Chains A and B, each alone.
Chain A
Amino acid sequence: SAVISQKPSRDICQRGTSLTIQCQVDSQVTMMFWYRQQPGQSLTLIATANQGSEATYESGFVIDKFPISRPNLTFSTLTVSNMSPEDSSIYLCSVARGGGGGDTQYFGPGTRLTVL
C-alpha cells in the first residue's frame, strides 16, 4: 500500500481565486493521478502526473484550469485556477502500485473545496 497525505484537507475560497493542493507520498512512485469527486458523484480522473514530463489531461480538463507540478517522485501539486462555484468538489490524489496484475491505486484523504 502507500501512505498519502494531502494539504489542505479543506478550504473555502472566493470565486476567481486559485488554490494549490499538495500531495505527498511516503515512498517514490512513478505515476500519480489527480481525481475530482463532485458532490454526491463518483470519481473522475483529471490528469496523470509523471515525474519529469508534462501531465496528461483527460477529456474535459485543461492545463490552464488545472496546472499540475511533479517536481520529484514523492510529491505533486494540483492548482484549481480562477475558481467558480462549479469547482466545489473533493480533489483526490492517488498513486499506482503493482499488484498481482498491475493496476492498483491508493488514494489520499482528499481536499474538500468549497467555492463561494
Chain B
Amino acid sequence: GQQLNQSPQSMFIQEGEDVSMNCTSSSIFNTWLWYKQDPGEGPVLLIALYKAGELTSNGRLTAQFGTTRKDSFLNISASIPSDVGIYFCAGPKAPISGGYNKLIFGAGTRLAVHP
C-alpha cells in the first residue's frame, strides 16, 4: 500500500537554528498536509499544499509541494522553544482521486529545541 517516508525521525537543535524535514512517497499525491502535535493534544494543521511546486508560508514555517508530486518538505526558521513537538506529513490515501479522502501519515519528526 501507499507509504509516506518521513525524515529525520528526530532532531535536537539549539534555539535560533533553522530546521528542515521532508516526506517522500512512491505514489503521486495531489495534496500534502503538515501537522504539528503537542504532547497530550491532537494534531494541528500547519500548512496545506495543493499544487505541484507550490511554496506556502505560515509565519516562520515554509512548506513546498515537490514538482514530482512525490515529495514535500517543511522548514522552520529561527526555532524557538515552543516549536517542540512532533511534526507529521500526511496525504490522501487515494492519492489522485481528490475529494475528501482518507489520510495516511508519515511516522513523524520529533523536534527538541534547547534554549
Interface residue ranges, A against B (CB under 8 Å)? 1, 4, 30-31, 33, 41-45, 48, 58, 92, 94, 96, 98-110, 112
Contact = CB atoms under 8 A, between A and B. Distances in A.
A43 B6 CA distance: 13
Contacts of A31: 100
A102 B99 contact: yes
Interface SS of B by simple majority: loop
Interface residues of B, number: 29
In the complex, the 7 A-B pairs of residues with the closest C-beta atoms, listed nearest first = A101-B50, A96-B100, A107-B42, A100-B50, A103-B31, A103-B92, A42-B105
B44 A103 contact: no
B91 to A, nearest CB: 8
B102 A30 contact: no
B100 A30 contact: yes
